[in-house]
Chains A and B, each alone.
Chain A
Amino acid sequence: MQATDSRDAIIKIQSVSKRYRAVNALSDFSLEIPRGTIYGLIGPNGAGKTTLLRILAALIAPSAGQVWFEDEEVSKAPAVIQRKVGYMPDFFGVYPDLTSAEYLEFYAGIHGIPRQKRARIIADLLELVELTSKRDALVETLSRGMKQRLCLARALVHDPEILLLDEPASGLDPRARVELRELVRTLQGMGKTIIVSSHILLEMAEMCTDVAIIQKGRLVVSGDVDRVSHRLGDGRQLEIRVLEAGRVPAAVELLKAMPDISNVTNGDGNLIQAEFVGNDEVLHRILVDLITGGIPVISFAPRSGGGRLEEVFMSITEGSSPS
């Protein structure tokens, strides 16, 4: 299910299927990826996320269907795609006996960047990924997080418009994950379109502007994070605490009367749970109506997108573990 999107699509995936002997990795998969977004691909093991990223990187050909990068069809112009796309697979792919600078210099060379420009580009990239101090360190001596950042710098060496990141946060400690997330946002700020797959749903909700949930090679749902998060039950979860348990019935009555509220339940003690449809302005109006209705609200908390996204994911994929 793909929502209609009026934004300028930089990538159009049209009815793409990919078959590996008896296995359908992707089936009639269509998706449009708007320019300048951080697009998350979510799905359980074997859903087809990596296959999709490898097709986008022109590493494998689809069995059927087409992929368009603006006006270029991937299978007909792989050289153009290689210029436009930076691919970071879900493994490090490093040469341990090279230094960080030599590693980047090699990839700059095989991307056809003139020798005189390489030193500047390498210095800028090392600064971007905060590895300037590790310029002359052998890659094998870098930590996992540093290697991941170096690989990201490697994917950026030819200044691609589109970045494909396959499980970039996999195996990273929380600090390295935050640094990576900030780095990805910085890259988005530089005008790049980033397609990322990850198994950390909260991370995806916080990092991505849009997500697509994939299961068994098929697109289940796609769109911006809020829209996808709201899909299940057509509402967002809301938790309200009032000063005294005795004021709960009045608050429940008031909430039930509101048009944007549904499924109001009395939780533990002074806790009320409900679902609401709408944006933050609707949320603000609900709070104002409660206060003006004389309800002593002490806590008013819409559930985070990440938790909600996880619920959507678990519901759609029938409990399959994300990969």
Chain B
Amino acid sequence: MTFLALLTKELRLRMRRERTIWVIIVYILLMGLLGWFFIGRFTDYNGFYNSNGLSDTGVSLYVLLSMVQLLLIVFITPAFTATTVNGEKERQTYDLLLCSRLSAFSLVSGKLAAGLMNALLLIAASVPLFSLVFFFGGISPGQVLSALVVYLATALVVGTFGLFCSTVFSRPAVSTAIAYMAGVIWLIIPLMGIAIDFIWASVRPASSPNQFPFILVWNPVEALISTYPTSYGGGLAVTLGHLKVAPWLLYTLLDVLATIVFFTLSTWTVKPGLPGNLLLWGRGEMRRGESETPAA
């Protein structure tokens, strides 16, 4: 019941902000314009007056839109969650939440659900654009669904990490910056590693060219690519002993595990009286939400 009260309040506040509407408009416009220009450019060079040309256009459009959507999810979701708890502190309403019967679990899950709903709203709003892909063909509904799972898992882990940052850092600007930096590192570093490995591999014989690089199992870009048709880099599998698993599936599983870890840490740091605060008590005899400077 307390969770629902918090979720209702969060959604009311978010949907009344002008910024929310503008984010949706800009998001859809950006995706739409990208698709529009892409179709124009692609037909200039290839034409789609035969069935192969049509499906190539469809797959290429899908690859472009799905990749842009993934990057937008990685970089927009933290904006919905990385200021959610310390924003309460800044608004001076945090103490009032702590004085209520709102449990740490309800507080964190309510905040997370509200932030994720904003991200889901963006994903849902872009679905009509993706329907354009089916007009051209070349992509199966199963591939779109697996990409959708990658989106949801990515939004979940990025959102939870943003929320965790907002419980740890008292200033919203700091927590947002940290969440974005972590997002960039998470996205770029493994890709850079694989690029270096690729250059190295070019000067030595490849041992197993069709094996999915293990360093990329928790990388959203590679997880999404693994849902594409084989000609676009999909279809590879990760070998775990005798088991072969689709990379996007393993990625989703790792996302869920990371989400559980960040969620648990958030509940520990968000409210007084929980084990996460033992360190704070021991160090400065403080509880979460307590100012370091003495009150009057």
> Which A residues are in CB contact (< 8 Å) with B1?
109, 112, 114-115
Give per-residue flags for B266-286: 1 if the beta carbon is below 8 A from chain A beta carbons, else 0: 000000110000000100111
Q: Report yes or no: B5 in contact with A97, Cβ–Cβ below 8 A.
A: no
- Given A59-B272, A107-B100, A110-B5, A94 and B294 contact (CB-CB distance below 8 Å): no
> Any chain A CB within 8 A of the CB of B296?
yes
Complex CA distance for A45 and B17, rounded to whole angstroms = 38
Q: Chain A's nearest CB lies how many Å from the CB of B5?
A: 2
> Which A residues are in CB contact (< 8 Å) with B8?
106, 109
Complex CA distance for A298 and B204, rounded to whole angstroms = 114
- Given A91-B92, A109-B8, A59 and B293 contact (CB-CB distance below 8 Å): no
Give per-residue flags for A114-134: 1 if the beta carbon is below 8 A from chain B beta carbons, else 0: 110000000000000000000
Task: Give the nearest-CB partner of A26 in chain B.
Answer: B294
> Any chain A CB within 8 A of the CB of B290?
yes
> Any chain A CB within 8 A of the CB of B13?
yes
Q: Report yes or no: A82 in contact with B287, Cβ–Cβ below 8 A.
A: no
Task: Give the nearest-CB partner of B88 in chain A.
Answer: A93
Q: Report yes or no: B102 in contact with A95, Cβ–Cβ below 8 A.
A: no
- Given A57-B99, A78-B273, A110-B2, A94 and B292 contact (CB-CB distance below 8 Å): no
Which of A25, A63, A79 is within 8 Å of B295, CB to CB? A25
> Which A residues are in CB contact (< 8 Å) with B293?
20
> Any chain B CB within 8 A of the CB of A323?
yes
Which of B17, B100, B284, B289 is within 8 Å of A20, CB to CB? B284
Q: Report yes or no: B17 in contact with A59, Cβ–Cβ below 8 A.
A: no
> Any chain B CB within 8 A of the CB of A61?
yes
Q: Report yes or no: B295 in contact with A50, Cβ–Cβ below 8 A.
A: yes
Complex CA distance for A58 and B289, rounded to whole angstroms = 12
> Any chain A CB within 8 A of the CB of B101?
yes
Q: Chain B's nearest CB lies how many Å from the CB of A313?
A: 15
Which of A98, A114, A115, A154 is within 8 Å of B9, CB to CB? A98
> Any chain A CB within 8 A of the CB of B41?
no
- Given A59-B290, A323-B296, A87 and B272 contact (CB-CB distance below 8 Å): no
Q: Report yes or no: B96 in contact with A87, Cβ–Cβ below 8 A.
A: yes
Q: Chain B's nearest CB lies how many Å from the CB of A26?
A: 9
Which of B4, B91, B93, B287 is within 8 Å of A109, CB to CB? B4
> Any chain A CB within 8 A of the CB of B144?
no
Of residues 11 to 63 in A, which have CB atoms within 8 Å of B's CB atoms? 18-21, 23, 25, 43, 45-51, 54, 57-61, 63
Give per-residue flags for A72-87: 1 if the beta carbon is below 8 A from chain B beta carbons, else 0: 0000001100110101
> Which A residues are in CB contact (< 8 Å) with B287?
59-61
Interface size class of A (residues with CB under 8 A): 35 or more
Q: Report yes or no: B296 in contact with A110, Cβ–Cβ below 8 A.
A: no
> Any chain A CB within 8 A of the CB of B244?
no
Q: Report yes or no: B95 in contact with A89, Cβ–Cβ below 8 A.
A: yes
Task: Give the nearest-CB partner of A99 in chain B.
Answer: B12
Q: Report yes or no: A51 in contact with B93, Cβ–Cβ below 8 A.
A: no
- Given A25-B295, A93-B91, A109 and B96 contact (CB-CB distance below 8 Å): no
Q: Report yes or no: B295 in contact with A51, Cβ–Cβ below 8 A.
A: yes
> Any chain A CB within 8 A of the CB of B6?
yes
Give per-residue flags for A207-247: 1 if the beta carbon is below 8 A from chain B beta carbons, else 0: 00000000000000000000000000000000000000000
Q: Report yes or no: A49 in contact with B296, Cβ–Cβ below 8 A.
A: yes
> Which B residues are in CB contact (< 8 Å) with A19?
285
> Any chain A CB within 8 A of the CB of B16?
yes
> Any chain B CB within 8 A of the CB of A159?
no
Q: Report yes or no: B12 in contact with A23, Cβ–Cβ below 8 A.
A: no
Complex CA distance for A57 and B92, rounded to whole angstroms = 16
> Any chain B CB within 8 A of the CB of A303?
no
Q: Chain B's nearest CB lies how many Å from the CB of A223?
A: 22
Q: Report yes or no: A109 in contact with B13, Cβ–Cβ below 8 A.
A: no
> Any chain B CB within 8 A of the CB of A311?
no
Complex CA distance for A303 and B125, rounded to whole angstroms = 72
> Any chain A CB within 8 A of the CB of B98?
yes
Complex CA distance for A269 and B95, rounded to whole angstroms = 57
Complex CA distance for A129 and B284, rounded to whole angstroms = 40
Complex CA distance for A19 and B290, rounded to whole angstroms = 12
Q: Chain A's nearest CB lies how many Å from the CB of B289?
A: 7
Complex CA distance for A78 and B100, rounded to whole angstroms = 10
Q: Report yes or no: B95 in contact with A95, Cβ–Cβ below 8 A.
A: no
Which of A87, A97, A115 is within 8 Å of B95, CB to CB? A87
Q: Report yes or no: A61 in contact with B96, Cβ–Cβ below 8 A.
A: no
> Any chain A CB within 8 A of the CB of B97?
yes
Listed in ascending order, the chain B residues whose CB lies under 8 Å from chain A are 1-2, 4-6, 8-9, 12-13, 16-17, 91-93, 95-102, 272-273, 281, 284-287, 289-290, 292-296
Seed contacts A89-B95, A95-B13, A108-B5; 9 additional CB < 8 Å A-B pairs: A43-B296, A87-B99, A93-B95, A93-B96, A109-B9, A110-B97, A111-B100, A154-B96, A323-B296
Task: Give the 10 A-B residue pairs with the shortest CB-CB distance, closest first.
Answer: A109-B5, A50-B295, A110-B100, A25-B294, A106-B9, A110-B102, A93-B93, A91-B92, A112-B101, A20-B294
